[in-house]
Structure 1
């Protein structure tokens, strides 16, 4: 079971992306728990995740989250703005899996 956490400013804008990612994972036979939270909840939720992807609008917080992610031993990256804008669940899921190391 892959546990993929997405964080964005309010946690709302990524909800559609989560749905698309879950659909792709199901179609590929990948067991995954994918959820989104607001930036202020990300630190608490990181303990439950294998990877953290942050929304492009939070790029400026990457260094802050990197220190926490490193401490917890989970990979982190910023979601590609094009994939985010297109709500490309497959591209974002693939990036998460790549970071986890499949």
Structure 2
């Protein structure tokens, strides 16, 4: 099972995107767990999840979080603002899957 988490200021707006990503995963018959966490929980979440996607509003943490994740051999990326703004679960899930394959 792949485990993906989204990270934003409070974990609220990303919760909507998580639901859309879960719907896409269901239609594709993918075994994934997707969750949303606030910034403060990144260090704990990256321990148990495979990948993190950052909301555009917290993109300023990308370099720090990438370094922390790299030490655990894990990936972090920022969600494209357009994908996030449109709450496009399909494109967000595709981005996560591409990172996992990289």
Query: How much does 1:20 deviate?
Result: 0.3
Instruction: Please give the alpha-carbon distance, in whole angstroms, between the structure 1 residues aligned to 2:74 and 2:8.
Output: 18
Q: Which residue of 2 aligns with 1:61?
A: 61
Cα RMSD (Å) = 1.0
Q: Which residue of 2 aligns with 1:10?
A: 10
Query: How much does 1:60 deviate?
Result: 0.8
Aligned counterparts, 1:6-85, within 5 A: 6-85=6-85
Structure 1: gaps (5+ residues) = none
Query: Alpha-carbon deviations, 1:17-60, whole Å to 9, x = none?
Result: 00000000000000100000000001101011111111111111
Q: TM-score, normalised by structure 1?
A: 0.97
* SS of structure 1 residue aligned to 2:13: coil
Structure 1 residue ranges (4+ consecutive) displaced by more than 4 angstroms after TM superposition: none
Structure 2: gaps (5+ residues) = none
Size of the aligned set, in residue pairs, is 102
Query: How much does 1:63 deviate?
Result: 1.0
Q: TM-score, normalised by structure 2?
A: 0.97
